[in-house]
């Protein structure tokens, strides 16, 4: 049988996600490891460590080289963290599969205290996410929030060295790496809403590749796919990228979908929230309408300087 090549970033978390995908494919089709090759690919987002990604080009820096490999035929599918995916994909590519979603919450890891609320006045907290930075500032305006780049292990090392007193990481990623024990607090969705796509693995393919589509069909999770269609449509309606502090989370219950979204200024002082619901079959429409409505609610200058 033809070997299927699975492209991925080379970080420990990205590799864990690619191996989870391979394991699910092996189980679904009764195939051995030799049927699937995991192909690590270095991306610009991994190499740029000296400045925020929002200044260097945004989310596409984590996908550009992998998508080029897909289009060139060097790989057959690409495994991504859904929250890293731009809302506009290159022509000829599509998201064909979503794996069952992990817990979407953010996790706080404190060096000397367990919760953000317990941090001493004015200490430094590190995060590379503009959404997390803004939400920390909303919760604790007195804290110094600093840019904190690097993979999970790098950030945990910097924390242990005392460069900051706390940091935030996705609960899902820590679980996938077997690092759940480092978490000191899990942040409630109501207080700290997640990034669109957080906790969900997506698989990108070339449009029209029926062999790969047939391989992926049995491992696709329809509920996660519907939730992500809603969240990504919300993001697209707001022109969301790494430059914009946006949160959005959808959940399904049978044929019903509930969505909540938030936009917030980077300094954490002004925000707008929205909720919406409807049929799962209209997931993208619900997200798009929510994005349009919340944009209209914001003052004309709300988005100035975001892009």
How far is Cα 234 from Cα 277, in angstroms, rounded to an integer?
A: 13
How would residue 158 be classed by pLDDT, with cut points 50, 70 and 90? very high
Question: What does residue 279 show for φ and ψ, rounded to 5 degrees?
Answer: -80, 145
Establish if 306 belongs to a structural domain.
no
How far is Cα 274 from Cα 258, in angstroms, rounded to an integer?
A: 11
Active site residue 84: yes
Q: Are residues 112 and 258 in the same domain?
A: no
Into how many domains does the chain fold? 3
pLDDT digits (tens, 9 = 90+) for 243-292: 678 999 999 999 999 999 999 999 999 999 999 999 999 999 999 999 99
11: how many CB neighbours lie within 10 A of its CB?
Answer: 22
**What domain range includes position 134?**
106-186
Whether the per-residue pLDDT at 204 is higher than 80: the answer is yes
Establish if 307 belongs to a structural domain.
no
Asked if 190 and 262 touch (Cβ cutoff 8 Å), the reply is: no
How far is Cα 119 from Cα 159, in angstroms, rounded to an integer?
A: 14
How much is the pLDDT for 56? Answer: 44
- DSSP element (H, E) containing 87: none
Q: Are residues 206 and 268 in the same domain?
A: no
Domain boundary among 186, 211, 246: 186
**Of 19 and 148, the one with more pLDDT:** 19
Q: Are residues 211 and 92 in the same domain?
A: yes
With a threshold of 0.85, does the pTM exceed it? Answer: yes
Establish if 305 belongs to a structural domain.
no
Q: Are residues 226 and 291 in the same domain?
A: yes
Residue matched to tokens 């969505």: 259
Q: Are residues 137 and 286 in the same domain?
A: no
Least confident of 46-50, 92-96, 157-161: 46-50
How would residue 239 be classed by pLDDT, with cut points 50, 70 and 90? confident
Return the closest-CA partner of residue 286 out of 277, 298, 273, 297: 277
Establish if 196 belongs to a structural domain.
no
Q: Are residues 261 and 274 in the same domain?
A: yes
Q: Where residue 161 sits, what CATH number does that domain have?
A: 3.40.190.10
Q: Are residues 213 and 88 in the same domain?
A: yes
Catalytic residue among 72, 76, 84, 185: 84
Q: Are residues 215 and 73 in the same domain?
A: yes
Return the closest-CA partner of residue 177 out of 4, 7, 17: 17
Residue 74: strand, helix, or coil: coil
Q: Are residues 238 and 173 in the same domain?
A: no
How would residue 151 be classed by pLDDT, with cut points 50, 70 and 90? confident
Q: Are residues 65 and 179 in the same domain?
A: no
């Amino acid at each position: 049988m033809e070997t299927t090549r699975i492209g991925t970033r080379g970080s420990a978390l990205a590799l864990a996600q690619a191996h989870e995908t391979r394991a699910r494919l092996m189980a679904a089709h009764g195939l051995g490891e030799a049927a699937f090759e995991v192909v690590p690919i270095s991306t610009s987002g991994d190499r740029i460590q000296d400045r925020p990604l929002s200044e260097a080009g945004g989310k596409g820096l984590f996908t550009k080289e992998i998508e080029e490999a897909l289009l060139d035929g060097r790989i057959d599918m690409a495994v991504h963290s859904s929250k890293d995916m731009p809302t506009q994909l290159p022509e000829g590519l599509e998201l064909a599969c979503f794996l069952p979603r992990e817990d979407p919450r953010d996790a706080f890891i404190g060096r000397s205290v367990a919760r953000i609320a317990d941090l001493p006045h004015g200490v430094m907290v590190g995060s590379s996410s503009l959404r997390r930075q803004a939400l920390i500032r909303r919760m604790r305006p007195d804290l110094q929030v600093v840019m904190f780049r690097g993979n999970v292990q790098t950030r945990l090392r910097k924390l242990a060295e005392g460069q900051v007193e706390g940091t935030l990481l996705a609960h899902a990623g820590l679980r996938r790496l077997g690092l759940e024990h480092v978490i000191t607090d899990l942040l409630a969705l109501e207080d700290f809403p997640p990034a669109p796509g957080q906790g969900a693995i997506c698989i990108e393919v070339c449009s029209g590749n029926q062999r790969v589509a047939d391989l992926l069909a049995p491992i696709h999770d329809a509920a996660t796919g519907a939730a992500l269609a809603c969240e990504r449509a919300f993001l697209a309606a707001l022109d969301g990228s790494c430059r914009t502090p946006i949160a959005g989370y959808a959940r399904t219950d049978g044929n019903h979908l509930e969505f909540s979204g938030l936009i917030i200024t980077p300094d954490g002082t002004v925000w707008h929230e929205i909720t919406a619901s409807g049929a799962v079959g209209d997931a993208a429409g619900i997200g798009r309408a929510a994005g349009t409505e919340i944009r209209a609610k914001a003052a004309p200058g709300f988005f100035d300087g975001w892009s």
